Structure 1
């Protein structure tokens, strides 16, 4: 059969990325409590396309992704990108795969359990000489405003927020540890199931640990610098966004770290 994608293109316009976007597919990821967790991914997979190629072979992205979906570890993600690059005869491949990650979480007093969902993603690129790999995690949290607490005779406004962490590293780590790190930096974590005794505990704990978004970002940043991994994370970013309860806007802060600039 005629392979139209391999025909020559005369326009001499290279494409930085060509491939598939929004591929929904079941995958299995590592889970510390249960070894394996079944979840559903949304995958964006691309290669660069030289100016003389008319198109890329879309079906090959899906075939390769299918082969790695049963063991979608951090290590295998990079192996998948390299396989895509080689199979499609490209100089560079790119990928971002996002998925919900579930953790069974106990309420602090009653011990009742419920499933918490955290949005996670693997993303990276690969060429013949270099590979990059990032892990992203979104963690919902609760914050109590230190200013509101300081100036009010009783009470303080509080709100849900989200911590977004993006890490670059070469060593293995558990997603669960990064999630816990973010929750411990907030006024409180959030839960899917709370009884009245739990609500009292969580409310009072949050009140005793007020945090601005600036505090939250700095606490997470410091904890990531201390994170027991060898070699350490080479770069990361931390964002915090509060969905304010008494303002008609959100509060936001961000900090970035790069090991190479620290050595300069």
Structure 2
């Protein structure tokens, strides 16, 4: 008769310090994102799953816990879901129920999502990709908080370098005898060069309950916060349209975050005041070796007050 092996994971650690997150990363699952009257969108999603660990327990028993996590995720993705953040929330709640020693469970998901685009000038259909992110945290005695968002890319133009080029053009046109009014009209009609860069925007919204936040609206707000959208397919008229649009809408990295804030308040005005909005912008600088970054995290009520000047 075999002996019962000791449960080392349940023993007390030598250093009695609790851990806020212990779990697994890199768990891949197929997720079917359901749509009304359309075929579901199939995502290859990667999950990170964590629970907290009290100070009196050595470990979570990684092998058995992985089995619980895998079974829970399998149950969650077995049927099409309409909101990936809700799926994360349900998974976190199930994990909390199955771990009697934990008080918090967190599930995070990231997947590449294909968006259907149309080129800005030639009107040709094309596809682009964005990274969608979803997460949820379940805590004992508290409503589960769910988060949905996206990482997107776009184009920005530096207003400072553009202003210097406009000044150079203005002086040269004046030397050639062009009148001041004509110079002003020309510069308004033909934006001058400025150094451009690829921008990376992140927008997430964290709420409780069912906030009715459409993922595609989140993507649109983030893409439109930069100087211009970019497209995989671009004929010469499209390249001209993108270049003109970006230079006519030059923005600092800080401007992009503020434009994102304005877009969130305009698009999601139904959100509760305690919804948490995270906005980040990073630009790959073209004439510097460093990059530029700006971000803001705020409750929606605060953000709305600032945008509306209350």
Q: How high is the TM-score relative to the length of structure 2?
A: 0.76
1:169 is aligned to 207
Give the Cα separation in 2 of the matches to 1:189 and 1:223.
15
The 3-state SS of whatever aligns with 1:134 is: strand
The 3-state SS of whatever aligns with 1:188 is: coil
CA contact (8 A) 1:65 1:80 kept: yes
Write out per-residue CA displacement over residues 99-124 of structure 1, whole angstroms, 9 at most, x where no aligned residue: 11110111112222222111121122
5 Å matches for 1:43-62?
Answer: 43-50=47-54, 51-52=56-57, 54-56=59-61, 57-62=65-70
CA contact (8 A) 2:114 2:130 kept: yes
The CA deviation at 1:157 is 1.5
List gaps (5 residues or longer) in structure 1. Answer: none
2:251 is aligned to 211
**Hey, which of these two has a bigger chunk of strand by percent?**
1
Quote the RMSD (CA, aligned, Å). Answer: 2.5
Write out per-residue CA displacement over residues 103-154 of structure 1, whole angstroms, 9 at most, x where no aligned residue: 0111112222222111121122112212222223111011111112211135
Number of paired residues? 263
Q: How high is the TM-score relative to the length of structure 1?
A: 0.89
The CA deviation at 1:244 is 0.9
Give the Cα separation in 2 of the matches to 1:75 and 1:91.
19
Choose which of 80, 83, 93 in structure 1 pairs with 2:94.
Answer: 83
Q: Using a 3 Å threshold, how does the CA distance of structure 1 residues 238 and 32 change in structure 2: closer, same or farther?
A: farther
Give the Cα separation in 1 of the matches to 2:22 and 2:130.
29
Please state if 1:178 is matched with 2:254: no
Q: Using a 3 Å threshold, how does the CA distance of structure 1 residues 177 and 8 change in structure 2: closer, same or farther?
A: closer
Q: Using a 3 Å threshold, how does the CA distance of structure 1 residues 103 and 3 change in structure 2: closer, same or farther?
A: farther
The CA deviation at 1:53 is 6.3
Q: Using a 3 Å threshold, how does the CA distance of structure 1 residues 13 and 247 change in structure 2: closer, same or farther?
A: closer
The 3-state SS of whatever aligns with 2:251 is: coil
